[in-house]
Amino acid sequence: MLAELLYTGLGCLIFGALAAPLLGTKFKKSWLVSIGVSLIGSLCVLGSALQIMGLRSPFILRLPLSTLGMIDQSLYLDRLSGFFLMVIAIGAVLVSLYSFGINLHYSEAGKNLSYFAFLYNIFLLAMYLVVLAGNVVLFLIMWEIMSLSSYLLVLYEHEEKHVRQAGFIYVVMTHLGTVFISISYFLLAKAAGGLNWENLSLVSKNLNTGLANIIFLLAVIGFGTKAGLIPLHIWLPRAHPAAPTNVSALMSGVMVKTALYGLLRFLFTFLPTGPWWWGGLLLILGALSALLGSMYAVLQKNLKGLLAYSTVENMGIICLGLGAALILRHFQFYDLAILAGVAFLYHLMNHAVFKTLLFMGAGSIISATHTKNMDLLGGLLKRMPYTGLFFLCGVASLVALPPLNGFVGEWLILKALFNLSIAIDSLTIKALGLLAISVLALVGALVATAGVKMYGSVFLALPRSYQAEKARETSLSMHIAMGLAAFICVVLGVLPGKISLLLGSLLELYWPSARVPAQDGFWQLCNVPKLGGEVYYPLFLGLLIVIIAILTWRLLPFIFGQTSVRRSETWTCGITPDATMEYTGTGFTEPVRVVFKNIFLPTREISQIYQVRPYFSRVIYFRDNIKPVIEEGLYKPLMKLFLAFSKYVRRMQTGSVQMYLAYILITLVILLATVR
Amino acid sequence: MNILYMILQGLFLLFLAPLIAGVVKKTKALLQNRRGPHLFQVYRDIYKYMKKDAVMSEQTSWIFVFTPYLVFASILGAGLMLPVFHPVSPWPFSSDLIVFIYLLTMARFFMALAALDTGSAFGGMGASREMAVSSVIEPALVVTIAGLAFKAHTTDLSKMVSSFMVNPNGIFTPNLLLLLVAFYIILIAESGRIPVDNPDTHLELTMIHEGMLLEYSGKYLGLMVWASYLKQLLLYSIVASVFLPWGITSDPSLIGGIYNLFFYLVKVVFIGVLVAVTETAFVKIRLFQIPELLFSSLVLSFLSILMEITVGGR
């Protein structure tokens, strides 16, 4: 039953991929069929993912291709792949629903949608197969297809130069990452003597520490690139905003999670025991990503750019949790480790939902106003009430306001870090833990600032441009998709109990000898797992606040008598209120920029053309910028080095065929002599 | 029983908050050789706001109307997590300090949104400054909580108080005193007092919190003002029950409750007077010096934790 459902789902996607281009010549709306089929396929995959999460032991599914005598290819279904399959499928269902509406806008713009629909289905298929693959070869092929199809999707609006540039950086970085991943897998496979996950899972016993460390580091670099961990993130804030919005929702919400899947597969199945500094490294990388990601997010003008940097930040927070879990496990605090594990898995799931929601909202805003610049928007809440409401829900989750889902994840991760620094008796780890705690708190406040900036400058006050003033609400399918995502945010927020137990049982499979403390009955639905005695029942907290708010609203007129409300314009010292008087997003975050100027290294140029010096200026030019430390400090020198090296190598390329034949001969002789 | 206890504590805090604000105002006036407003003037102000008709900006959306209720409810909800009459708080489901500060964050988030919603430059200025200052408060606050958690092995307020009240003189350890100073700085910043913010002015050069309320009037303003006094009282109460754990008994009877209440009032009034003294003794510092002040709070908390780890707080 499971296999049939899974094959149906994957088959739908293959059909969807082929349908659009094949039918495309016959009738123009063929992409609708394609997207519809991808929706059905993703629902089937979601169903099978839920079944896979119930499996006690790994289930190995031989692909039909294997019987054709090709390489023995199989799918490896266990709870870990089931969980990630579920996360991807939820994102895919939401985005497919949304795509019906948003693609209409593209089709009005005269875009070729069968090309889009083909790549979209291939992209989804590849992501599913990445987490299902049970073999190094299949994994790497699917990983590559996923990267390439998303690269082509990023290039969808290739008429614009910045999109092509973003695409180029993306494809270079992602291939760099793939190199590291491949080497890491090949080293592992060589030691294991086989390419299947079953072989690789037995390897850890006869692997020496040095090699294990190298494999781990290679995997962290490789998967870290895809996950957008700083300093490997540079492609992410460029590629995600450049892609069409439904693709950026998938890339930011879901695709980056496949990198975590890869990393977790290493840490759970292949190399389950490692020294504590593995966790420490992830903790440091996570803290760095969270901190810089949130800082750059705050200063973004571009709506999608802000969301992309916030993805970097959230991946960092997830890595903080993962690092804490690994360290706790190494020091044999098995129960605390499982709770930290639940924390980061929960946050991973949350991020997939609310980031998809926010990108979908951003897509609606952009298609209604045709601008991504937040300083040109404003007043959209009155013009797009539904989008505004759902987007607020997404922002509140992002900012981790109780009782929404973002808070459950952050609370659990914060608690994991508290446990880490209190329980373990080592000064280094305590210091690391405390550093991570203060970083997480700072990140929380910065994200709140970014959230206020984003929502305030896009949805509130007066519109700052003609486009924003003329914005209209978007289509129904987009509302349904966003509403559904907002609903999931609320449910994951107020009823975390069952889900966190499910995640706990996932972890118990890989980290035996510990259990999530069971709670009974109704309570377990509402509470998060108990961590050293602290509890938090989000449902009741939410109800409490709603009840107090309603009571206040009803009782105030009752106690103090009825009062009336008169509408009048905002007081602006006697002038008619105007959008130019409002704080723009850029102005809003100026204090943050000044406070953290040592990190942003802001530069500012002001030049004036005077009518009468020095008091009456005719024109004032203002330009401000921040110095991207990592690009300038790390990537520029590397690029220079690389170019210098290329210049050196160029001497070999003489252009004469005889020379090349000689090279081939020399290489052959060397290979014959060394490799047997 | 629990619900009664919750309602009682909620109403009590609501009624006490303006009084404490009045105490601070009165003390400050006396220290400055003024007669000052009547102790109950704050009550009269709130009553006046509630009775008045409101003027609301045409530019605003539903966020602006919705915010005062939400801010009021989330701060009052946070108030139910505090131990006042009894070392165990009336809210049975959580008295975790992290949840507590995130409730305050929620209030701040919506307040800033409402301030931006009016489209006035003052609102934007207030919101922008508030968020920037909060981004330096938050790390200091959470690390202070971490310092307390190192001592009490929990971040749950009720459990923390229960473990500190056994030996109230245990507060006289260097690391807890450092934490107290660190928390006091945060308290000043969070409740918008001099030297961080001046609560008595509408001058745009200095205002942070007041800027955000500028467009509110009538009962909406009343709710916002009441909520900010309540928030101030909640911060005082944390100091009163965690850092000054004298005069707390876990006796659940009426006598026990009255005993706790008496000492609670004494402590809260004492902190109010202390804040007034601080306000008189210091001048308002420039906006961009606030991070330095809060950074010193962060460093104090780190020092305290270091002390706790190395010498066990003796």
What does the pLDDT look like over A468-491, one tens digit per residue? 888 888 888 899 999 999 999 999
Q: What residues of B are in contact with residue A587 (Cβ under 8 Å)?
A: 124, 128
Rounded to the nearest angstrom, the minimum Cα separation between A123 and chain B is 37
Measured distance CA(A316)–CA(A324) in Å, rounded: 12
What percentage of chain A exceeds 70 in pLDDT? 95
pLDDT of residue A527 exceeding 70: no
pLDDT of residue A427 exceeding 70: yes
pLDDT of residue A444 exceeding 90: yes
Measured distance CA(A195)–CA(A439) in Å, rounded: 40
Q: What residues of B are in contact with residue A577 (Cβ under 8 Å)?
A: 59, 119-120
Closest CA in chain A for residue B54: A565
- The stretch A382-393 carries a mean pLDDT of 94
In the structure, what pLDDT confidence band is assigned to residue A71 with cuts at 50, 70 and 90? Answer: low
Torsion of CA A45, A51, A55, A60, to 10 degrees: -40
Q: pLDDT of A277-317, one tens digit each? A: 999 999 999 999 999 999 999 999 999 999 999 999 999 99
- The stretch B206-213 carries a mean pLDDT of 84
In the structure, what pLDDT confidence band is assigned to residue A23 with cuts at 50, 70 and 90? Answer: confident
- The stretch B169-183 carries a mean pLDDT of 89
CB atoms B127 and A456 under 8 Å: yes
Higher pLDDT, A105 or A508: A508
In the structure, what pLDDT confidence band is assigned to residue A530 with cuts at 50, 70 and 90? Answer: low
pLDDT of residue A111 exceeding 60: yes
What's the N-to-C CA distance of chain B in angstroms? 41
Q: pLDDT of B38-72, one tens digit each? A: 999 999 999 999 999 999 988 889 999 999 999 99
In the structure, what pLDDT confidence band is assigned to residue A29 with cuts at 50, 70 and 90? Answer: confident
Closest CA in chain B for residue A406: B102
Rounded to the nearest angstrom, the minimum Cα separation between A429 and chain B is 12
Which of A58-67, A458-467, A506-515, B14-23 has the largest mean confidence? B14-23
pLDDT of residue A630 exceeding 90: no
Q: What residues of B are in contact with residue A430 (Cβ under 8 Å)?
A: 305, 309
Sequence-separated (6 or more) residues with CB below 8 Å from residue B222: B46, B49, B50
Furthest C-alpha separation in chain B:
61
Predicted local distance difference test score (pLDDT) of residue A26: 66
Nearest to A582 among B62, B96, B124 (CB): B124
Predicted local distance difference test score (pLDDT) of residue A192: 86
> In A370-426, where does DSSP find H-type helix?
380-383, 385-398, 405-423
pLDDT of residue B95 exceeding 90: no
- What ipTM was assigned to the predicted interfaces of this complex? 0.95
Give the sign of the dihedral formed by CA A499, CA A501, CA A506, CA A507.
positive
Q: Tokens at residue A381, please?
A: 């809440």
Q: What residues of A are in contact with residue B57 (Cβ under 8 Å)?
A: 567-570
Tell me the pLDDT of chain A averaged across its residues. 88
Sequence-separated (6 or more) residues with CB below 8 Å from residue B234: B13, B75, B78, B79, B82
Higher pLDDT, A290 or A529: A290
Report the run of H or E that residue A500 belongs to, with start and end: helix A496-510
Predicted local distance difference test score (pLDDT) of residue A520: 52
Rounded to the nearest angstrom, the minimum Cα separation between A394 and chain B is 14
pLDDT of residue B226 exceeding 60: yes
Q: How wide is the angle at C-alpha A564 spanned by C-alphas A560 and A568, nearest 5°?
A: 140
pLDDT of residue B87 exceeding 90: no
Rounded to the nearest angstrom, the minimum Cα separation between A77 and chain B is 38
Closest CA in chain B for residue A578: B119
Q: What residues of A are in contact with residue B223 (Cβ under 8 Å)?
A: 552, 556
pLDDT of residue B313 exceeding 70: no
Measured distance CA(B34)–CA(B28) in Å, rounded: 8
pTM, 2 dp: 0.94
Taking CB atoms and an 8 Å cut-off, how many pairs form between chains A and B? Answer: 258
Rounded to the nearest angstrom, the minimum Cα separation between A76 and chain B is 40
- The stretch A496-525 carries a mean pLDDT of 74
Measured distance CA(A399)–CA(A407) in Å, rounded: 8
CA A515 remoteness from chain centre: 29
Q: pLDDT of A233-243, one tens digit each? A: 999 999 999 99
CB atoms B93 and A546 under 8 Å: no
Q: pLDDT of A145-199, one tens digit each? A: 999 999 999 998 888 899 999 999 999 999 999 999 999 999 998 888 888 888 8
Predicted local distance difference test score (pLDDT) of residue B181: 94
Q: Which of B109, B125, B303 to mutate to test the interface with A (most CBs of A within 10 A)?
A: B109
Predicted local distance difference test score (pLDDT) of residue A288: 94
Tell me the pLDDT of chain B averaged across its residues. 90
Q: How distant, in Å, are the alpha carbons of B22, B111, B224 from that of B46?
A: 12, 19, 10
Q: Tokens at residue A664, please?
A: 């081939």
Report the run of H or E that residue B123 belongs to, with start and end: helix B121-152
Measured distance CA(A287)–CA(A347) in Å, rounded: 15
- The stretch A611-634 carries a mean pLDDT of 84
In the structure, what pLDDT confidence band is assigned to residue A580 with cuts at 50, 70 and 90? Answer: confident
Predicted local distance difference test score (pLDDT) of residue A224: 94
pLDDT of residue A436 exceeding 70: yes
Give the three-class secondary structure for B109.
Answer: helix
Predicted local distance difference test score (pLDDT) of residue A72: 67
Establish if A555 touches chain B: CB-CB under 8 angstroms.
no
pLDDT of residue A635 exceeding 80: yes
Q: Tokens at residue A670, please?
A: 């060397």
Of B133, B97, B98, nearest in space to B112 by CA: B133
Sequence-separated (6 or more) residues with CB below 8 Å from residue A22: A30
- The stretch A354-374 carries a mean pLDDT of 93
Closest CA in chain A for residue B134: A445
Establish if A440 touches chain B: CB-CB under 8 angstroms.
yes
pLDDT of residue B168 exceeding 60: yes
For residue A614, cis peptide bond before it (omega within 30 degrees of 0): yes
Residue pair A437/A421 in contact (Cβ under 8 Å)? The answer is yes
Closest CA in chain B for residue A397: B106
575-614 of A, contacting B, C-beta below 8 A: 577, 579, 581-583, 587-592, 594-595
Rounded to the nearest angstrom, the minimum Cα separation between B180 and chain A is 18
Q: What residues of B are in contact with residue A452 (Cβ under 8 Å)?
A: 109, 112-113, 116, 127, 131
- The stretch A645-649 carries a mean pLDDT of 90
Measured distance CA(A106)–CA(A35) in Å, rounded: 14
- The stretch A409-414 carries a mean pLDDT of 91
Q: Which of B48, B120, B287 to mutate to test the interface with A (most CBs of A within 10 A)?
A: B120
pLDDT of residue B92 exceeding 90: no
Predicted local distance difference test score (pLDDT) of residue A220: 95
In the structure, what pLDDT confidence band is assigned to residue A532 with cuts at 50, 70 and 90? Answer: low
Predicted local distance difference test score (pLDDT) of residue A127: 95
Q: Tokens at residue A611, please?
A: 């009518």
- The stretch A316-321 carries a mean pLDDT of 96
Establish if A570 touches chain B: CB-CB under 8 angstroms.
yes
In the structure, what pLDDT confidence band is assigned to residue A533 with cuts at 50, 70 and 90? Answer: low
Measured distance CA(A456)–CA(A450) in Å, rounded: 10
Establish if A389 touches chain B: CB-CB under 8 angstroms.
no
pLDDT of residue A524 exceeding 80: no
Establish if A206 touches chain B: CB-CB under 8 angstroms.
no
In the structure, what pLDDT confidence band is assigned to residue A632 with cuts at 50, 70 and 90? Answer: confident
Residue type, B195: P
CB atoms B52 and A563 under 8 Å: yes
Residues shown for chain A = 676
User: Which letter does DSSP use for residue B40 in this model?
Assistant: T
Higher pLDDT, A451 or B93: A451
CB atoms A461 and B116 under 8 Å: yes
Establish if A445 touches chain B: CB-CB under 8 angstroms.
yes
